[in-house]
Amino acid sequence: MSKVSQEYLNNLRHSCAHLLAAAVVKLYPSAKPTIGPVIENGFYYDFEFSKPISEEDLPKIEAEMAKLVQKWGSIEGKEISLYEAKEKFAKNPYKLELIEELAQKDEPIMIYRSGDFEDLCRGGHIEKPFQEIKAFKLLSIAGAYWRGDEKNKMLTRIYGTCFPTQEELDEYLKQLEEAKNRDHRKIGKDLGLFVFSDLVGKGLPLFTAKGATIRRELERFVVDEEIKRGYQHVVTPPLAKTELYKVSGHYPYYANTMYPPMRIDEEELILRPMTCPHHFMLYKSQPQSYKDLPLKLAELSPQFRYEKSGELSGLTRVRMFCLADAHIFCTVEQAKATILEVLNLIDYANKVLGFVKGQDYRYRLSLGDRKDDKKYYKDDKAWETAENTLREVLTEAKAPFFEAPNEAAFYGPKIDIQIKNVSGKEETAFTVQYDFVMPKRFNLTYTDKDGKEQEVVVIHRSSIGAIERTMAFLIEKYKGAFPVWLSPVQVQIIPIAERHNKYGQNVLDQLLTANIRVELDERAETMQAKIRDAQMQKIPYMLIVGDREEKEKTVAVRTREGGNLRAIKIKEFIDKVKEDIESRS
RNA sequence: GCCUCCUUAGCUUAGUGGUAAAGCUUAUGUUUUGUAAACAUAUGACGGCAGUUCGAUUCUGCCAGGAGGCUCCA
């Protein structure tokens, strides 16, 4: 990357956005520019076009930009009066709306001019566009609502980016290309991990045996680890009476993301969008003593959310997913230690999966809003306690975190563990939530030392999140070359000629007995072709067996990284693979 | 849901207002090989429904599915 500061880069891109607007207005005089901010890796500008444009028009606009920039020796701002501003932008209702707002807030109204293009703008520009805007590219077109509100008009957004030099631009474009190859949807298809079917439905992945193997390994890992840490793994039904979610209070908040109720006999049932109330019913099935707290109920819980069709995406956004869920019932005093323990588990799980703290993931403290009684349950004091507890825990755990106002659940604040995917977009992977509302709603209590009934606190948490989403992160993280313990096929046996198939079978049996996921390639293909196929499937170990190996009862080991070939005894190889599996490397 | 784009064989891609080409895959035969693709032959597709047209895979509309975007505030 270049040595220029982020501020310079932002100014450069912002000026480039102006240039884009100028070119668009020149080519499409009826287009109305609205706003054009800088974003993480570039900029965009939203326009209202009288006739829709398409991606094919971008090169034309780029060419116009290159032409216009030659006359952009400078870019100069000046403040103008409200009257003058209204006059200048009389034909653009979007700018007028912005001008009105500025006037109301009593902020100065500025315009910036370059060549013969003027735009309402707060500033933040480079000085000499002609010399500095050299390497830019328009990337895509998208629809976007005016001010992000779907009730407003849909505008046309043009995305672009700009770098100080052509080399840096090329480098960035290469990165984008690379990201495409890492996309879990592409790798999932190439490696045959999962598929979608029109007949089954959108957002409902079907896992092949290979994909299911990865899932199973993840599930086994998390269940074993949780049981080790004192969780009780339970199973509850993935559907329940609508009434349950009305009592929990989820219903009004989740109504538009739940599947519609189904009537059967006298009951009205619904596919569950979350597990909490089910676990509450288990908790309530018997009187609970303080001696048993904290009580941790965990489940690999299938759940259903009706996500808007445009929001579905591969395995990261699906309509049915399996959450590694748990609810911990504890006293207020135990809450902090309990949450600390949970963070500890999450850190451990992330480490095993290979996610690096601070690099692959970070913590978000999602807070409520005391003024918003509609979105959040009203209990200011409880919110304070809960938010402070979470903040203290994060500080104590030395976890890198940032605070996000207005992102809490309706029943309490939460810690979200945010993972970045290939395209740099952040998604919530796991969460820890502090809940003081449900215990009231469901009357969740325990008997204390003095025989008195007390209310519990519920910690909602997920250790490795939704299995589907976590798989997507893993696929992208490893580019499909999973660590041995997760690899659908751990070893591929490649006989050199057909006469070696029998020895291959012998090796296969020994590895199968040792619980290694192994396949024997008996096809009448050349050894080279078989190696290539195994390589493309990213199988960690290939065992080449021919006359020499058969005679010496060995296997020639090739790793997917290439090279590293040597013949070792079968037993020795088995031990090595088993060690890989056990150490989860 | 909304905006833009995309949909040709199992996969990846070519192409056309007169029903289509290739590579890989698959099947069969030949080959029996020492670390990333042996050779030959064969099978196989214009997402669905309408419309325009003498004629549509190609143009238009609708539907379905997919991709990107709809949080970044002049």
At A138, list the tokens: 């328009």
* Averaged pLDDT, A473-477: 91
* Averaged pLDDT, A198-204: 84
CB count within 10 Å of CB A32 equals 19
pLDDT band at A565 (very low <50, low <70, confident <90, very high): low
Distance of CA A6 to the CA centre of its chain: 25
Binding residues of A: 276, 327, 460
> Per this entry, what is the length of chain A?
585
A210 and A192 Cβ atoms separated by less than 8 Å: yes
Q: Where are the alpha helices (DSSP H) in A355-500?
A: 380-396, 438-441, 467-478
**Nearest-angstrom CA–CA distance, A12 and A6:** 10
* Averaged pLDDT, A106-114: 89
3-state secondary structure at position A457: strand
Q: What tens digit of pLDDT does each residue of A379-438 get? A: 899 999 999 999 999 999 888 888 888 888 888 999 999 887 766 677 888 899 999 989
Q: Which nucleotides of B are covered by protein (CB under 7 A)?
A: 1-5, 11-12, 25-26, 30-38, 64-74
pLDDT band at A3 (very low <50, low <70, confident <90, very high): low
Decide if pLDDT at A468 tops 80: yes
Q: Which of A329, A233, A239 is nearest to A284 (CA)?
A: A329
Distance A200 CA to B49 C1' (A): 21
Distance of CA A133 to the CA centre of its chain: 34
Q: Which fold has domain A190-478?
A: BirA Bifunctional Protein; domain 2 (3.30.930)
pLDDT for A1: 47
Cβ of residue A555 near strand B, that is under 7 Å?
no
Q: What tens digit of pLDDT does each residue of A490-547 get? A: 999 999 999 999 999 999 999 999 999 999 998 889 999 999 999 999 999 999 999 9
A404 and A452 Cβ atoms separated by less than 8 Å: no
A213 and A237 Cβ atoms separated by less than 8 Å: no
Q: Where are the alpha helices (DSSP H) in A407-546?
A: 438-441, 467-478, 501-513, 527-536
* Averaged pLDDT, A360-377: 86
Cβ of residue A312 near strand B, that is under 7 Å?
yes
* Averaged pLDDT, A552-581: 91
pLDDT for A495: 94
Q: Is A564 exposed, middle or buried (0-12, 13-18, 19+ CB in 10 A)?
A: exposed
Distance A418 CA to B59 C1' (A): 48
Report the b/e string of A282-310 with b at 16+ CB within 10 A. Answer: ebeeeebebeebbbbbbbbbbbbbbeeee
In one letter, which amino acid is A387?
A: E
The domains of chain A are located at 6-172, 190-478, 484-582
pLDDT for A312: 85
More confident residue, A117 or A178: A117
Distance A31 CA to B59 C1' (A): 28
Asked casually if ipTM beats, i.e. exceeds, 0.85, the reply is yes
Residues 145-164 of A with CB under 7 A from strand B: 145, 147-150, 154, 156-157
Q: What tens digit of pLDDT does each residue of A59-68 get? A: 889 999 999 9
For every residue of A518-552, DSSP letters joined together read EEE--SSS-HHHHHHHHHHTT-SEEEEE-HHHHHH
Cβ of residue A46 near strand B, that is under 7 Å?
no
pLDDT for A12: 93
Q: Which fold has domain A6-172?
A: Threonyl-tRNA Synthetase; Chain A, domain 2 (3.30.980)
pLDDT band at A207 (very low <50, low <70, confident <90, very high): very high
3-state secondary structure at position A122: coil
Decide if pLDDT at A36 tops 70: yes
pLDDT for A424: 66
Q: What tens digit of pLDDT does each residue of A284-295 get? A: 999 999 999 999
What is the average pLDDT score of chain A? 90
Q: Which of A502, A490, A465 is nearest to A574 (CA)?
A: A490
A36 and A153 Cβ atoms separated by less than 8 Å: no
Q: Which of A419, A517, A518, A463 is nearest to A184 (CA)?
A: A419
Decide if pLDDT at A581 tops 80: yes
**Nearest-angstrom CA–CA distance, A114 and A128:** 10
Q: What tens digit of pLDDT does each residue of A247-300 get? A: 888 887 777 788 888 888 889 999 998 899 999 999 999 999 999 999 999 999
At A19, list the tokens: 């240039």
pLDDT for A278: 95
* Averaged pLDDT, A74-98: 89
Establish whether the linkage from the previous residue to A277 is cis, with ω within 30° of 0.
no
Q: What tens digit of pLDDT does each residue of A142-170 get? A: 889 988 888 888 899 999 999 999 988 88
Q: What tens digit of pLDDT does each residue of A495-510 get? A: 999 999 999 999 999 9
pLDDT for A217: 96
Tokens 């659940």 found at: A409
In one letter, which amino acid is A18?
A: H
Decide if pLDDT at A352 tops 70: yes
Cβ of residue A247 near strand B, that is under 7 Å?
no
Indicate the Cα dihedral angle A168, A170, A172, A177, nearest 10°: -170
CATH architecture of the domain A484-582 equals 3-Layer(aba) Sandwich (3.40)
**Nearest-angstrom CA–CA distance, A379 and A381:** 6
* Averaged pLDDT, A341-348: 93
pLDDT for A193: 93
Cβ of residue A180 near strand B, that is under 7 Å?
no
Tokens 């046309």 found at: A156
